[in-house]
Amino acid sequence: MSFDYDLFVIGGGSGGVRAARVAAAEGVKVALAEEDRYGGTCVIRGCVPKKLMVFASEYSGIVEDAQAYGWDIKPGAFDWDVFKGKLNAELDRLEGIYRNLLANSGVETFDLRAKMVDAHTVELADGSRKSAKHILLAMGGRPVWPEIPGSELGISSNEIFHLEKLPENILIVGGGYIACEFAGIMNGLGVKTTQYYRGAQILRGFDDEARGLVCEEMCQRGVDVHLGTNILEMRKEGDKIWVKATNGDERLFDQVMFATGRTPNTDNMGLEDIGVALGRKGEVLVDDYSQTGVPSVFAVGDVTDRVNLTPVAIREGMAFVETVFKGNPTTVDHDLIPTAIFTQPEMGTVGLSEEQAREVEPIEVFATSFKPMQQSFAGRAERVLMKLIVSQASRKVLGCHIVAPGAGEMIQLAGIAVKMGATKEDFDRTVAVHPTMSEEIVTMKAPVRRS
């Protein structure tokens, strides 16, 4: 049987683009369909614009600190229009790079939505059909809104980059990565920021001590965090949004942003009709090789709802190419993935939290919390945390948790040691880099707890 292509990829985000161009480099005939902008969530409405907004928002504090260091400078006003113009230009540039990468690798692209017709055929939004020996689903995910009266008045992280003007005040709902990162961003940009989270502490699933410190520092910097609080009802009142909360508060906000989770983009894709099984959240169910129950159809990235991070999607895409086009069956190792949450202060983490590790085996906890030199000199009360979770039996470092400016950069390197199976004694053997914050990670002598 002959097909139009060897591989048809649906979705031009991190996972899809990488798989398409690596496969094409192997001489495979590849096509890719994308209904929106190339680059996907990460480049267009996620990691990249978010990080640029984090940078923008940090300058308010930097100016204050510079004054404390003797600089004769005055904080000025933040110009959203100037930033937004530069941001959009940067995203256009990056999208151009993604398009060029595909074109230069010989991938044929269709700027159209695609859906599945049968195990080897996709139908594009213009009605044309394309056949392929293999199909890769890489449609990613999208934000979900809670079902409460008036929730359509809110926005998600998709829209926050396109606001006409910065609000004077904003309510952010949720306690995950996105909610906490944007609470810091908005607060830093001078927007009065309130955050409602329904649970007892933000960043559920991360180390308790680490997330406790992040929350404390966020409050210290001016974010009005309400724990155990959710929205009951919203409605328009003039040009504001009236919000009634579970704690009895009734308040007016200029904007309400929901960061209440994301869902895989599998609606109306014809997947179940052709026998591709979906999970409870609508995620494509795959085996360790990213293969669905339909042998010609594979899926990578957020659409599979495994670990929803760009570098993971990229690895899944590469492993798919190894498996299918290079005759080298390759699984993706989802264990000990370092990650950073770009809150202010940042949190970097790899491995088990103290709470998770304690359930597995007897542990020792090494932790130190202190005021870093740079901020302390500037008169800030800010504290940082360095924490290691160590197996009593093997002495291996099971988890490393850092809350500090630059924690994202630090955890990438600590992640190598933890992934290699380094023991606490390996950390101790490493000479400290002085004076730094991260030197504390190799100088913690006695455990603070054994359990």
Which positions from 160 through 189 interact with ligand NDP, judged by CB under 6 A? 173-179, 181
Q: List the one residue from 149, 199, 279, 421 that touches ligand NDP (CB under 6 A).
A: 199
- In angstroms, give the least distance from the CB of 67 to ligand NDP: 30
- How many residues sit close enough to ligand NDP to count as binding (CB under 6 A)? 24
Binding mask 432-451 for ligand NDP (x = CB under 6 A): --------------------
Nearer to ligand NDP, 174 or 345 (CB): 174
Give the phi and the psi of residue 167 in degrees, each rounded to 5: -70, 160
CB of 81 to ligand NDP, least distance (A): 25
243 binds ligand NDP (CB under 6 A): no
Q: Residues 193, 223: contact at Cβ < 8 Å?
A: yes
Does residue 192 interact with ligand NDP by CB under 6 A? no
Shortest distance (Å) from residue 308 CB to ligand NDP: 4
State which residue, 38 or 197, has the beta carbon closest to ligand NDP: 197
Contact 106, 7 (CB under 8 A): no
Which of 120, 226, 401, 434 is the catalytic position?
434
Q: Tell me if residue 401 is catalytic.
A: no
Q: Based on CB atoms, which residue is closest to ligand NDP, 3 or 242?
A: 242
The amino acid present at 9, given as its one-letter code, is: V
The secondary structure of residue 423, as a DSSP letter, is B
Report cis status (omega within 30 of 0) of the bond before 49: no
Distances (CA, A) of 79 to 165, 170, 209, 427: 9, 18, 36, 45
Assess 351 for contact with ligand NDP (CB under 6 A): no
- Three-class SS of 366-407: EEEEECCHHHHHCCCCCCEEEEEEEECCCCEEEEEEEECCCH
CA distance 37 to 30: 19
Shortest CB 302 distance to ligand NDP, Å:
8
What span, in angstroms and rounded, lies between the C-alpha atoms of 310 and 302?
9
Nearer to ligand NDP, 286 or 309 (CB): 309
Question: Does residue 235 interact with ligand NDP by CB under 6 A?
Answer: no
Name 441's Cβ contacts closer than 8 Å, sequence gap at least 6: 386, 388, 400, 402, 410, 414, 427
Q: How far apart are CA 135 and CA 156, in angstroms?
A: 30
18: which 2 tokens? 């990488």
Q: Which is nearer to ligand NDP, 204 or 371 (CB)?
A: 204
Which is closer to ligand NDP, CB of 63 or CB of 232? 232
- End-to-end alpha carbon distance in the chain: 62
| 14 sits near ligand NDP (criterion: CB under 6 A) | no
- Of the residues 60, 151, 230, 412, which one makes contact with ligand NDP according to CB under 6 A: 230
Give the residue numbers marked as catalytic. 434
Residues that bind ligand NDP (CB under 6 A): 146, 173-179, 181, 197-199, 204, 230, 259-262, 308-309, 339-342
